[in-house]
Structure formats: C-alpha cells, structure tokens
Copies of this chain bind each other. A is one copy, B any other.
Amino acid sequence: MARKPTPTPTPLAPAAADTPAHPREPGPSPRAGLTYAKAGVDLLSKDSFTEGLETLLRRTHGPRVIPNPGGFAGLFRLDYNERLFARNYKDPVLVACADGVGTKLRLAIELGVYDTLGIDLVAMNVNDMIVQGAEPLFFLDYIAIGKVDRPVLDALVRGVVAGCQTAGCALLGGETAEMPGLYQPGDFDLAGFAVGVMDLDRAVNPIRVRPGDVVLGLASSGVHSNGYTLVRSIVRQAKLDLHAPAPELAPAPPKRAARPSPKGAADTPTLGQALLTPTRIYAPSITRLLRSYRVKKTVSGMAHITGSGMSGNLVRALHPGVDAVVDRAAWPVPPLFRLLQRAGGVDEDEMRRVFNMGIGYCLIVRPSFADSIAERLTKLGETVHTIGKIVTGSGRVIER
C-alpha cells in the first residue's frame, strides 16, 4: 500500500535504534473531485495512527534491528561476524511461520476488547517455531480493516508489541490495509509472520523419540486460539451471557504469590474475559530451557497444542516406531472447558479433538531428565504436568 514521505533519512547503521525500523505507511493524500477520500479511504486518520506507532514498536527492538526510517522494509542484522552469533550457530537455519488468530477475533470484536489479540497472534506463530528448537528473531503483522479506527488499531498493535516483548522477538513492522467493503463496520483481520533461527544439527527431530521417554504438558492459559467457531456456536445456542461474572472460572491464586490476592467481585472474571484470555507464549521458557540442555539433547520432541487438540498435534512429534500414551486424568481440565462442554452438550472426544483442555504445549523428554526439566520449567513460570509416556508403537497418540 502507499507509503508516506520519508522523514530525514539516516544512513543505515546498526544498533542504537533512535527511530523505528518500519513505520506503518498511510495512503495517498486526499483532494477535491473524485478522490481517494470520496472513494472512502480516510488517509489523515491513518497518517497519525502510523506516527504514533513508532514509539510502540521501538520497545521490541534490540541491537540487531537496524533503523530504516521511511524505508520500505524492516532490517535485521544477523551478526554474521559477531562472536555471539558465531558461537551459537554453526549451521543456521531460518525458520518461518505465518498464522492468524482465527475466529477468536470475532469474539474480541463482540466484546470490544482489542489489546489482547496481538498476543494471540504472536503466540500462534512463535509457539509453532520453538517446537523445533528455533529461537524467535523478528515478527511482522498485517491488519486489514474496513475503515481506519485509530483506537482499535492502536490497541491491536499494542497487543502485538506486548506479545513480541514476551516472546523476545523484534516487531520489525507491519502493514495496515484499509479495505472498505471487504470488512463489515467494526470488523478486521490479523495475520502474523515470524522468523526465527536454529542450528541445523541441534534441531529437535522426531527420530530422537524413544520408548521410555516421558511426555510433559505445560498448562494453557485458556482456550488459546483454536476452536472459537465452536465456542461461539455454543455461546449462541446456549444463550450464554458473556458479560456475567462466572465465579467458577476465577483463577487459582498464583503460585508463590507474596500475598494472596484479595477475594471479591472485582476478581471474578466474566465468561467473555475468560474466553479472551490471550494464548500463553511458551517461547521464553522453552528457549531458556533448551539453552541449558543444548548439548545433552534431552528433549526429544515438542508440540504446540492447537487445532486438532492433543492428539492432532502431539502426533507430529512422533515417528512411526513409537506411540505416545497420554493419561487424560493426569492434569486438571480447567473449569472453562467443562462449562463449554455442558452448555453445548459436546461429547468428551469432540472436546478433546477441538480444544487444548488445559495443556498448551508438550515436551517429550528422556526419563532420567524428566524431573529436572519439569523443575526448571516450573522455575521459569510454567505449570508442568507429567501426562504420558512413549512406548513402542506405530506413530499414534493414544489418549486414555
């Protein structure tokens, strides 16, 4: 889409990002007569939106992001000659993912909550990439909307910034497309794109998985970003009230809280809030964990639990010589899923096929390291359950 006139260009130089790598670009300027403005595209609004973003984006930039004000693309230096890069990566492979957030955004639009979808967007991309041992480097986003709405766009990008900060990747830039007629008033879509790097000989690879390995599950934060078409169908058919406080969904007190959080109505989430809870980003924990265990290769496989549930995703970490036997009773299913199940009359197998049911990420680990890995992940902030084991088999996930 059209770009804005460049501010004072800075010679390309690494580090010390005084200006952002890639501000969003507005369209052509409006004029009299049959013009863009009369055709429905409001460009001044988009201009000021773009300029306000620069500060936001900068929060995610580390020393490898090269300022490129007014440039057409975001720049990320690989530190090819830096000792740090050379020490970490002998045979670097770039890993790239693209993903959206699915119909969770319809729920967000209904509830008017826009600042968490960006976290889901980052999560869906980086959680996929870390599965093979890649470390996220940078992210770009695409937002398409019918009519520029500054507060909405601002909130969306703030969410992406927050997600990138958590994931430890640089938000290099993005594209905001105003598409009158393609989107109904108030509607929009989001797409995200992440690039990471991993060392080829340390990549996590299904062939490593052995009978005897243990399956660990990391708790999800909620529904995450899959299954929302069914969620919304249940909400509609059962006439659930998204705005009513749902005490049965109140979170357990946080682990190691300095003091217990005060109880009261203010703490009770509504069903809508619980459903919109952003997808947990596992990248910081997994990246740090793999740095500890890097040489020993004690993690033989991982899976991000998205659509198709546990079985549909864990299966991708297996090879045809093994099965994963998962014990459904090995972790508590959060009340939110039971609420949806009851309201929709959904049978257990269908629930398990569509939803994560409380486990958002799995690791398959060598049995003698299972305890220490679980402990390390717990210290890194995850809630860890031992949920199954690997046996000789034929590449299936068996849930009991």
Interface residues of A (CB under 8 A from B): 1-6, 8-9, 11-12, 14, 25, 27-29, 31, 33-36, 38-41, 66, 68, 70-78, 80-81, 89-100, 102-103, 105-106, 128-129, 131-132, 134, 137-138, 140-142, 144, 172-175, 177, 179-183, 187, 189, 191, 193, 195-196, 200, 203, 205-207, 226-227, 229-230, 232-234, 237, 304, 306-309, 312-313, 315-316, 318-320, 344-347, 349-350, 353-354, 395
Complex contact A12–B200 (CB within 8 A): yes
Contact partners of A31 in chain B: CB under 8 A: 347, 349-350, 353
Report how far A128 CA is from B227 CA in the complex, Å: 36
Contact across chains for B200 and A189 when beta carbons are under 8 A apart? no
Chain B min CB distance to A362 (Å): 13
Check if B232 sits within 8 Å of A174, measured CB to CB: no
From the candidates B9, B27, B172, B232, name the one contacting A206 in the complex (CB within 8 A): B9
User: How many angstroms between the C-alpha atoms of A70 and B307 in the bound complex?
Assistant: 14
- A14–B181 CB distance below 8 A: no
Cβ-defined contact, B71 with A92, below 8 A: no
B233 pairs with A28, CB closer than 8 A: no
Please name all residues of chain B whose beta carbon is closer than 8 Å to the beta carbon of A80 when the two chains form the complex.
Answer: 80, 89-92
Residue in B97, B196, B226, B234 whose beta carbon sits within 8 Å of that of A34 in the complex: B234
Which of B73, B97, B183, B353 is A29 in contact with, Cβ under 8 Å? B353
Known pairs A33-B350, A102-B179 / 7 extra A-B pairs, C-beta < 8 Å: A28-B353, A35-B346, A72-B128, A73-B131, A142-B142, A144-B189, A175-B191
Chain B residues, Cβ within 8 Å of A129: 72-73
Contacts of A172 in B (CB 8 A): 96
Task: Identify the closest chain B residue to A203 (Cβ).
Answer: B12
Contact of A100 among B1, B41, B138, B180 (CB under 8 A): B1
19 CB < 8 A contacts A-B: A1-B306, A2-B307, A2-B313, A6-B315, A6-B395, A9-B319, A11-B205, A27-B308, A29-B308, A31-B353, A36-B229, A40-B233, A72-B128, A72-B131, A73-B96, A81-B90, A94-B137, A182-B183, A193-B193
Inter-chain CA distance A344–B26, complex, in Å, is: 23
